Amino acid sequence: MSKIRKIGIITGGGDCSGLNAVINGITKTAVNKYGVEVVGFTRGYSGLYKNDYRPLGLRSVSGIMHEGGTILKSSNKDNLFDYPVMKEDGTVEYKDVSDQAIKNLEYLGVDALIVMGGDGTLTSARDFYRKGLPVVGVPKTIDNDLPATDVTFGYNTSLETITDALDKIHTTAYSHDRVMVVEVMGRHTGWLALEGGLAGSADVILIPEIPYDINKIVEKVRQRDAFGRNFSIIVISEGAKPKGGDVTVREHVEDSADSVRLGGVGKILTDQLQELIPEHEVRYTNLAYIQRGGITSQFDRALGLLFGVNAVDLLMNGGAGRMVQLRGRKISSIPLEDVVGGGEMGETSTGGGKQVDPEGQYVQAAKSIGITFGE
């Protein structure tokens, strides 16, 4: 590998707390430890294609550790290997424009990339590595559904937000004897609902891994009524589904790598419960994008910083083509091919989502203290 003198940074996919901590760690390590320049491309891969960037130095990353989101902004719609280009007749044609991105990097003197993102963003990172560009990946998602790492930054901050919201909703549920349905993110995995619901004293937790029977939920509410607890809190993941049913799709975004957007199952459940338990007022709250933003938790600041520092060390010591990961309390790395799959020999990917185990300790602990999953 030729000597690396300048590193480019990309933040792709949905934003989350902890991204700025990674940017901070990358920049300060590159400058202080290796004497390497750093530039950040804005709005994900779009900035790489449009040559939209900003230099990053010690001054520009000072004081950003606590901030949510990303100072570089982000995009989850720009796959440079299948990019929408407007033709003269007004129609859109999808083309591979990755060579233009490579030319932009050469023009700027950028020798390598560190890319933060989930499956779609890291798939493109792998593809750029296949084209000969030194790339290191950093895993990012609030859903904690990437099997290649024990946990991702942003997840802890989201859990804190969910727990705080449930604490606040608890008082209003108690005051009015209401059944409160709270919908949280998570896509096809229930980690946010499960751990947030546990910490926030939910009475019912509904997750994608355990299809629910609405009659079991009604039974739980009436059990609490008989016990003198005339209110209930139900936490439902956006990917939850009834037995024999399917997920609730909020919309399709055709120009996104993740075109299917889930959401709204909590409102459907609320309307159904209002018919079945008319003695209660049933109210619905969707935490939605509140879960993505806000002040970054201590854990996510520390994890993001460690990922950033280790990503630079990995890159500078010949570890291109890999992604940093957390295993136990140690930062290590794994080949990008093993993270997103699609190797030339058809090897099995570790992707596909890290699911909640219905027989696992968290679910069993919840059942032990009386929480129902609508089974």
Q: What is the spatial distance between Cα 140 and Cα 147, in angstroms, rounded to a whole number?
A: 12
CA 190 centroid distance within chain: 12
Strand, helix or coil for residue 353:
coil
Q: Is residue 89 annotated as part of the catalytic site, yes or no?
A: no
Q: Show the DSSP H helices in 233-282 as ranges.
A: 265-276
CB atoms within 10 A of CB 155: 27
Question: Which of 127, 143, 145, 203 is the catalytic position?
Answer: 143
Per the listing, tokens 């219905």 go with 358
- DSSP assignment string, 46-93: HHHHHT-EEEE-TTTTTT-TT--S-TT---SS--TTSEEEE-TTS-EE
Handedness of CA 169, 356, 22, 84 (dihedral sign): negative
- Pull the structure tokens for residue 267: 């409102």
Q: Which residues are catalytic?
A: 143
